[in-house]
Structure 1
């Protein structure tokens, strides 16, 4: 998976256990640096945080899969 970044922020891996103990799971890592790239909170209907910018790989005709999943989940959970 290739994603685009536009910053120099990094997740401090020293805090990973604390985050996971409180429900935020680190589910995606950069294989070269071992830095966390994607987090989720499994108990919620949809919560994803990324270090990259999915909007840079999105177009009107071909949205990034994260946006598609967010919209799909919103429609499924519409009251």
Structure 2
């Protein structure tokens, strides 16, 4: 991406680290936790932010501007003000 901040669409079925302060608090405030299992959230999500390469060569998503959790057809919007 080399400094170019043009909009790019990237889709992953693998796990991608999210680097966002207070992410869990924001989720708890806007999205009901899923009960009855070992995970609070294990839903499809649409996340808008910047993909960056970590020092170990992997990737993380940072500077998140919005997150949409989709559970059983219902969408929960979590906004991040910058």
The normalised TM-score by structure 2 is 0.29
Which structure has greater strand proportion? 2
Which structure has greater helix proportion? 1
The normalised TM-score by structure 1 is 0.30
